[in-house]
Amino acid sequence: MTTNAEHEAGELWVFGYGSLMWRPGFAYLERTPARLIGLHRALCVLSFVHRGTPERPGLVLGLDRGGMCRGIAFRVAAAARAETIEYLRGREQVTSVYVETMRQIELEDEARRRVRALCYIVDRSHVQYAGRLTLAESLHHVRQGHGRSGPNRDYVVQTVRALETLGYREGELHLLAERLGGNQQPVRTQESAPDA
């Protein structure tokens, strides 16, 4: 399922809440902390390609219903709009587990700008939607998961580090990283987070 994002003109904003935060893979003009209301970050997607296989699925993040998600907004030049959308579809839609949509986000800058951004929301009707898992179930999937993009453990640990750099802490995700042995840096506050 695709949006009309490629038919709109001008610059493109992209909202990253998982690996896009620390490995966007596309050129951008601006990188700004942002938040999305009405959806939250959840380890709710069984990974059959990037961080696992159908026989030994890993577990990756999706935007799921309710709450709020803090992440990174990337501003892409108008000239790179189509190329960026094509790249993201190739990366995020390998198995069509996400719904591509444009949503309003709030940039966490001085002006508190509101912009429309390209987002990938989990499709709850997809076979890879895992729903809410226990910590033990999540640990099982992450420990066994290894796919095209590497070990599932690295994905979780890198995401937690990206959140810490922004001064954010998400209890369940941080606890999972600690159980995996990858959360050894102290959590920094937003005031002490380095500019990126």
Q: Supply 17's token pair.
A: 């809440």
Closest CA to 111 of 32, 180, 175: 32
pLDDT 10s digits, 57-98: 999 999 999 999 999 999 999 999 999 999 999 999 999 999
pLDDT 10s digits, 101-133: 999 999 999 899 999 999 999 999 999 999 999
Its sign, for the CA torsion 85, 91, 94, 100, is negative
Q: Is the Cβ–Cβ distance between 158 and 22 less than 8 Å?
A: yes
Whether the model clears a pTM of 0.85, i.e. scores above it, the answer is: yes
